[in-house]
Chain A
């Protein structure tokens, strides 16, 4: 409808472009356009993610594990243990000397509910008294009770009489 007094066409609201009365003015997104949008969009997202990750990684080095003297080797007899903290003062660890005389160290925090584990030399096991969790003192594997994850192993090295922690070990040891 038009106005007799004012012949100028009435200005259409902007939303009318999206919902035109005339069928021919409808703009449909074709399947090909949608597929193109999805493909290019995914590629862009993947590239952007890679770039952001690369920028984030650049110049960042894994902090080298500090070397800390944790105990005197002579103070830990066969079947004995000693407590220390590594790598920070918030991380309690336990150093044990097995029946074969080798020194091994593990995190003292039980992987079940974070109680402190103790060494049981008779069975060469680390025992958590809270829920009777048992870990192997050879590699930290959970042997019994609720824990399902290994105790993190601490790499230690004997230098003379000093026992030095040199890193948090992997599970393959």
Chain B
């Protein structure tokens, strides 16, 4: 792995969708954007959060692939599915804790962010990081991030007892050492908010 790493600073995202547009133009997946720009609370905030593949150390998407279609290269990049192998079963889509892989019905294949492998493998920045005006998406060294940012980059996610280490860092407040997911998600049926803008609530209503 090169010493250049990918960093996401959600607090800097301004929702301009430059990354979404730039991603479409990457040569490895021309015309299809592999980055997802999530809205956090559409009703109450304009905050958005870009989601690229986190490139797990032990990628569960590849582990569950029955066709051996998802491979991890030496530099730690979890590649998009191999066209001759992918059977479109969507196991990866269901297994990814970050919701990154997307099954494309039109080509009966899963596609996901591969960190613009044609670019990063030769030392260039991924498309999204080159265009992000607020540098919420950055491709640089750890030292540079520590020198220029107020937060701390972490690459450890805790899903209860399950620890996921990723190649991509997220920038969190200084005292945080890992992202605790357990406290953020609510298991089971959540109480109805009766909010007309809450899509999840609308979907759960009978």
Contact = CB atoms under 8 A, between A and B. Distances in A.
A24 B71 CA distance: 9
Contact of A21 (B62, B158, B161): B62
Contact of B63 (A2, A21, A23, A24): A21
Contacts of B73: 22-24
Contacts of B62: 21
Interface string A5-31: 100000000000001011110000000
B153 to A, nearest CB: 21
Interface in B38-84: 56, 58-60, 62-63, 68, 70-74, 79
A114 interface: no
A23 B74 contact: yes
Interface residues of B, number: 18
B179 interface: no
A8 to B, nearest CB: 14
Contacts, number: 35
What is the interface residue range for chain A against chain B? 10 to 19
Interface of B: 56, 58-60, 62-63, 68, 70-74, 79, 158, 161-164
Kindly list the 8 A-B residue pairs having the minimum CB-CB distance in the complex, ordered from nearest.
Answer: A21-B62, A19-B68, A4-B161, A23-B71, A24-B74, A22-B72, A23-B73, A1-B162
23 contacts: A1-B58, A1-B60, A1-B164, A2-B162, A2-B163, A3-B161, A3-B162, A4-B162, A5-B161, A19-B68, A21-B58, A21-B63, A21-B70, A21-B72, A22-B72, A22-B74, A23-B71, A23-B72, A23-B73, A23-B74, A23-B79, A24-B73, A24-B74
